[in-house]
Amino acid sequence: MAMETVRALKAHLAINVKDVERSVNFYRKMFGVEPSKVRRGYAKFDLNNPPLNFSLNEEPFNNQGALSHLGIQVGSTQDVLAMRQRWIGEGLATRDEMSTVCCHALQDKSWVRDPDGNEWEVFVVLEDNVSEKNNVAQPCCEPTCCATTDIGRG
């Protein structure tokens, strides 16, 4: 019996946050849209660009979770800079990494951090599959790769 191809509508990502109201305020600014649903301890952003069903679940926790970081891949450095400017206009702190080699790819990117420490990058891949001998950065998942510890005002 042949498997039918399933057409996915959009990805779903649910994260735990300490304070839904505070996080809704951040993500409203980051995504530039209002949440589609807000309840006590829960909020949902139903995004078209990027296509994402993104929900916030209020749960107490002490440490940052196992999540490394989140990202939105765009088509050009101009798109990275446009998103960065929108974030700055919303009062979000940004940090740039231009012409950086990370995850074995040459990328331009800008970062923001949500109230719970979840880090988001908007990025463009300028050159993929950079050889290891030309990769002066640490491979992905090393402590120094994609590190965003000093996010400041853009």
- What is the sign of the dihedral through the CA atoms of 15, 21, 26 and 29? positive
Note whether 10-59 and 69-154 share their fold.
Answer: yes
Q: What is the pTM of this model?
A: 0.76
- Kindly tell me if the per-residue pLDDT of 80 is higher than 90: yes
User: Phi, psi at residue 88, to the nearest 5°?
Assistant: -60, -45
**3-state SS record for 7-42:** CCCCEEEEEEECCHHHHHHHHHHHHCCCCCEEECCE
Please, how many CA atoms are within 13 Å of residue 16, restricted to the half-sphere of its CB? Answer: 10
User: Phi, psi at residue 143, to the nearest 5°?
Assistant: -60, -30
> Across residues 6-10, what is the average pLDDT?
79
146 and 121 Cβ atoms separated by less than 8 Å: yes
pLDDT digits (tens, 9 = 90+) for 22-70: 999 999 999 999 999 999 999 999 999 999 999 999 988 887 666 879 9
Which amino acid, 115?
P
Q: Which residue has the tokens 């139903």?
A: 46
The Cα–Cα gap between 46 and 146 comes to 27
The Cα–Cα gap between 121 and 21 comes to 22
CATH of domain 69-154: 3.10.180
Confidence of residue 146 (pLDDT cuts 50, 70, 90): low
CATH superfamily name and code, 10-59: 2,3-Dihydroxybiphenyl 1,2-Dioxygenase, domain 1 (3.10.180.10)
The Cα–Cα gap between 146 and 154 comes to 17
Domain spans of the chain? 10-59, 69-154
pLDDT digits (tens, 9 = 90+) for 99-137: 998 878 899 999 999 999 999 999 999 998 776 665 454
The Cα–Cα gap between 124 and 76 comes to 6
The H-assigned helical ranges of the chain are 20-31, 77-89
